Structure 1
Amino acid sequence: MARNVEFNEEVAIQKAMEVFWKKGYNGASLRDLTDAMQINSSSLYNTIGDKQELFVRCVQHYTDLRKQDWEKRLGSKKAPFAILVDYIHEAVGVIINGEDSCMAVKSAFEVATNDQRIKEILIADNDRAYQFLYNLIKNSMEQGQISTEEDPALLADYFNSTWTGWYESYILHKDPIKIKRMAEYFIKQLSK
């Protein structure tokens, strides 16, 4: 009789997510994934399903982590504008110091056009990112740190799409100064 392999599914999903994040969906082999998860392929198929299902679970896990981060930031005692500025600086740090780009951005370009479930997860993530930014911007306006003549919805959409462009720029040019300057310019424009 075959022995059931027990494993911590959350840890396994995290490890698989890291493989997908580094190699992308198409670049990650089943062997890469099962080695990282420390399980065999039959255990993967019996508990999670195929590579596609694993990828869906990993993208969901990634976006859940982002959601938790945003909720934590919104719950802090800092002023909304300070949270926003910290978030922008941290995003720049991730872009220029991280080995891999944002998994959501990678997944959007690699898989979301062909996979409705991935697209739906990424749309929900994008909507949460927008709401996070909108709340910070609107609250910053109420506290007089951003001009009330600005449209918080437009600023949130603008930043949400702009920072994706920063990823692309860094991937192509590997110029950290350029990314930092764009971020500082954006912060300066917000605080006028």
Structure 2
Amino acid sequence: MNCPFQNTYLPPMPRNVEFNEEEAIQKAMEVFWEKGYNATSLRDLTDAMKINSSSLYNTIGDKQELFVRCVKHYTDIRKRDLQKRLASSKSPFTILVDYINDAVDVIISGDNSCMAVKTAFEVATNDQRVKDILKEDSGSAYQFLYTLIKKAIEEGEISPEEDAEVLADYFISTWTGWYESYILHKDPIKIRKMAQYFIKQISK
């Protein structure tokens, strides 16, 4: 459920509407990300999307349907970011370290932090579709980390005694712990120290 990414492209949707759905979904996602699902009103969403409520209902559906679309949009962006990182010419361990440091930046960058984690805490247990999207997102993050760690072990950047599967799972759970710690303590130095300790522990 890790979060560094660049906002990029949303696959095209039907164009039988009078507004740009790609831009509207992006705007709605930003509102949900900032306020959370429960604190976001329909008026907040339609104002941000620059449409009226009837256009929303006729094209996307109600608030819950829109939220599901926004979560999927968010995780699609994250998946593309992971693919871009894997395609980098940097060494596997360097890519991994960059990713960890970017993940820390996401945690301490502000109250919005990670939409996926916020969603998991707030509404995932109430909507199976959201749970499935977040489960797929977590799977993508795991596969990304596993691939990097395995390559780093093969190239001698991480000790061959390490287990790539365990380290990938451990980082995902550890990252969530850093997020919770920051929510409670708002201590960026503490989060950075924990990240550097993790990097040091997996370094050969």
Normalising by the smaller structure, the TM-score range is over 0.9
Compare the two structures and name the one with the higher helix fraction: 1
Pick from 94, 110, 115: which aligns with 2:106? 94
CA distance in 1, matches of 2:160, 2:27: 44
| Aligned residue-pair number | 189
CA distance in 1, matches of 2:199, 2:27: 35
- Secondary structure of the 2:56 match is helix
What is the Cα deviation at residue 76 of structure 1? 0.8
Pick from 26, 36, 42: which aligns with 2:38? 26
CA distance in 1, matches of 2:81, 2:135: 18
Pick from 174, 180, 186: which aligns with 2:192? 180
Does 1:189 pair with 2:196? no
CA distance in 2, matches of 1:13, 1:164: 26
Which residue does the alignment assign to 1:130?
Answer: 142
Of residues 4-13 and 120-129 in structure 1, the stretch that sits farther from structure 2 once superposed is 4-13
> CA deviation digits over 1:121-157, x for unaligned, max 9?
0000000000000001000001101111111000000
CA distance in 2, matches of 1:31, 1:85: 41
Unmatched 5+ stretches in structure 1: none
Letter in structure 1 aligned against 2:25: I
Letter in structure 2 aligned against 1:108: A
Answer whether contact 2:17 2:59 (CA < 8 A) is retained: no
Letter in structure 1 aligned against 2:29: M
CA distance in 1, matches of 2:137, 2:181: 22
Which residue does the alignment assign to 1:52?
Answer: 64
5 Å-filtered alignment, 1:54-93, equals 54-93=66-105
Pick from 46, 50, 58: which aligns with 1:38? 50
CA distance in 2, matches of 1:98, 1:152: 31
CA distance in 1, matches of 2:43, 2:17: 17
Does 1:147 pair with 2:190? no
Which residue does the alignment assign to 1:170?
Answer: 182
Q: Compute the RMSD of aligned alpha carbons.
A: 1.0
What is the Cα deviation at residue 5 of structure 1? 5.8
- Secondary structure of the 1:25 match is coil
**Structure 1: 4+ residue segments shifted above 3 A:** none
Letter in structure 2 aligned against 1:177: I
CA distance in 1, matches of 2:18, 2:69: 18
TM-score by length of 2: 0.91
Which residue does the alignment assign to 1:112?
Answer: 124
CA distance in 2, matches of 1:5, 1:113: 32
Unmatched 5+ stretches in structure 2: 1-15
What is the Cα deviation at residue 79 of structure 1? 0.5
Same amino acid, percent of matched pairs: 77
Q: Which fold has the larger relative contact order, with Cα–Cα distance below 8 Å and residues 6 or more apart in sequence?
A: 2
What is the Cα deviation at residue 101 of structure 1? 2.0
> CA deviation digits over 1:8-33, x for unaligned, max 9?
10110000000000111101000000
